[in-house]
Amino acid sequence: MRDTTAILLVDDDRYLAESMALWLEEQGYFVQTAGSLQAAKLAIQAQTFDLLITDLRLDDGDGFDLIAHSKKAAPSCEILVVTGYATPQTAIDAVRAGAFDLLTKPLIDEELTLAIDRAQSQRLIQTENESLKQQLDRRFGMENILSHDYRMLKLFDVVDNVADAKASLLVTGENGTGKSMIARAIHRRGNRRDKPFIEVACGALPDNLLESELFGHVAGAFTGASNNKVGKFKLADGGTIFLDEIGTASPAMQVKLLRVLQELQFEPLGGTETETVDVRVILATNEDLTANVAAGTFRQDLYYRINVVNIELPPLRERVGDIPLLVKHFLEVSMESLNRKIEGFDSQAMQVLQRYSWPGNVRELENIVERATLLSRSPVLTTEDLPADMVRGETPTHSTSQRPAPTVAGNRSASEIAYSISEGRVASLREALEEPERQIILETLRMFQWNRAATADALEINRTTLYKKMKRLGLDDPRLQFAN
């Protein structure tokens, strides 16, 4: 490390500076000296240094002025103060000004080299932290939102234009389209990027708990409130707060939110002291707020207050061209996390993915790719690695139109069940009976709260047979347990 470490040594005692520089050069450091405040500023302007070692008393100025100048002009340069007039308060003032450490004259060789090594270690840590921060910015920035769709590209321009805006932003779109990612990208690209980003799922909490979550509460505000609690608005002070599922807010909560958005002031639950914050508010919903306003379930004044800039995310089914790009990205992520090697989906499987309606949008696609990567035994993913219901809704490879999925056998005749005609193709008996079988098993699983042993007994089949049928019919996906 020493042969690459550049040190600027500043001291108005020329003989002391030259002697110290010579000794440091013998230790393997590159050293440049400066005898005044002005000379040191010129040196910092002309060259990059890893470490600044300076006295506090200079002929033409104060060492604190040099510290302030260095922190502004060369923030990555660590600062070590060396002085013969040190007091405990001097040390405190130097560290507050930006110095890493303070040493007193006369110097001990080992003490100086130890301080330099510690300063360099600190610089490396800061460099690594900056690298991690840049990776985080890429993770949540626009670089991670993949799309070639022209509407998404225009949306990216909007995000850049509003990144520094103080006005509230409304992000709309179906579940799974990436509203949270857009909100984080706006925060990361704006001037509040170094401040907190706080996310609140408004639909996950009842009204009284949501108020406490947003605005905090004082001790005794309600049963169980034994201590004061700081709310999310206060925690987001100086940064961004993201309110997801805003369409679920009750009328009473809407009134409170309107005041906060207008005045950036609120009182904690049960408290009387008014809090003032500086936050940028981003809201999101998958509901049609215009229809909600017309129906009287959402306040019109709040709607106009939050709808200053509306970013509407298109569903995945309307940007099919992005599916191969997204699949490639999700495959790379899944292979890394699961430590598996997958070449990709074959052409038939990709056709299935591109013709599917994607009610869960990008989030559903990510889960499907991860599931296929986890369960596949081959490096090439095929339709067998996709959920059965997705594949059944896909057109045969020789047909250009989609064959309707068979419906539950209710009013259909036996011949209709056995032979489903589509583009001249006769469906097999097994194909025709798959959907009724799937519906019967699914309803029985739901009846017994997904207890497979009870389901197998009710259907009068053994559990092994049930497991095989569930896998073949796409009923082994755990997300089905939580679907309506």
- Region 242-263: mean pLDDT is 93
The three-class DSSP label of residue 344 is: strand
Who has greater pLDDT, 387 or 438?
387
Instruction: Give the pLDDT of residue 300.
Output: 95
User: 447 or 402, which is more confident?
Assistant: 447
User: Tens digit of pLDDT for each residue in 152-193?
Assistant: 888 888 888 898 988 899 999 999 998 998 999 899 888 998
The residues, any chain, with a CB within 8 Å of residue 195's CB and separated by 6 or more, are 236, 238, 239, 240
Q: Please give the structure tokens belonging to residue 317.
A: 């089914």
Whether 358 contacts 316, CB under 8 Å: yes
pLDDT at 408 over 60: no
Assess contact for 299 and 258: CB atoms under 8 A.
yes
Is the pLDDT confidence value at 312 over 90? Answer: yes
In our burial notation (b when 16+ CB lie closer than 10 A, e otherwise), range 362-395 reads: bebbbbbbbbbbeebeeeebbbebbbbbbbbbbb
- Say what the pLDDT of residue 407 is: 35
Q: What pLDDT score was predicted for residue 396?
A: 34
Residue 484: is its pLDDT beyond 50? no
Res 315 pLDDT > 90: yes
Mean pLDDT, residues 82-89 taken together:
78
State both tokens at 221: 């505000």
| Range in 232-241, 357-366, 415-424 with the lowest mean pLDDT | 415-424
pLDDT at 430 > cutoff 60: yes
pLDDT at 132: 58
When mean pLDDT is compared across 69-78, 239-248, 473-482, the lowest value belongs to: 473-482
**For residues 390-411, average pLDDT:** 44
- Judged against a pLDDT cut of 50, whether residue 269 lies above it is answered with yes
Structural contact between residues 474 and 388, judged by C-beta atoms closer than 8 angstroms: yes
Distance, CA of 8 to CA of 32 (rounded, Å):
5
Give the model's pLDDT for residue 83.
Answer: 83
By three-state DSSP, how is residue 30 classified?
strand
Pick from 381, 325, 384, 391: nearest CA to 355: 391
Question: Of 59-63, 365-369, 374-378, which range is least confident?
Answer: 59-63
Are the folds of 2-135 and 150-314 the same?
A: yes
- ∠ Cα 229 235 240 (to 5°): 145
354 C-beta neighbours (distance < 10 Å), count: 16
From the candidate CATH numbers 2.60.40.2310, 3.30.70.60, 3.40.50.300, 3.40.1190.20, the one assigned to the domain spanning 150-314: 3.40.50.300
The per-residue pLDDT for 131 is 58
Determine the average pLDDT of the residues in 398-420: 37
The closest of 246, 320, 236 to 278, measured between CA atoms, is 236
State the CATH architecture for 2-135: 3-Layer(aba) Sandwich (3.40)
Cα distances (angstroms) measured from residue 71 to each of 65, 74, 109, 401? 10, 6, 26, 66
Q: Residue 476's pLDDT band (boundaries 50, 70, 90)?
A: confident
**Arithmetic mean of pLDDT over the chain:** 82
Report the run of H or E that residue 101 belongs to, with start and end: strand 101-104
* Mean local confidence (pLDDT), 465-482: 76
* Mean pLDDT within 315-331: 90
Query: Of 394-403, 437-446, 458-467, which gets the smallest average pLDDT?
Result: 394-403
pLDDT at position 34: 92
Average pLDDT over residues 38-61: 89
Q: How large is the average pLDDT for residues 330-358? A: 90
Domain boundaries in the chain? 2-135, 150-314
- State the pLDDT at residue 111: 83
**pLDDT exceeding 90 applies to what percent of the chain?**
35
Residue 204, pLDDT score? 81
pLDDT at 216: 92
- At 242 the three-state DSSP class reads strand
Query: How would residue 133 be classed by pLDDT, with cut points 50, 70 and 90?
Result: low
Token pair listed for 396: 């045969």
pLDDT band per the 50, 70, 90 thresholds, residue 366: very high
Q: Are 454 and 447 in contact (CB under 8 A)?
A: no
The residue behind tokens 């932290």 is 129
Q: What is the DSSP string of 255-319?
A: HHHHHHHHHSEE--BT--SPEE---EEEEEESS-HHHHHHHTSS-HHHHHHH-SEEEEPPPGGG-
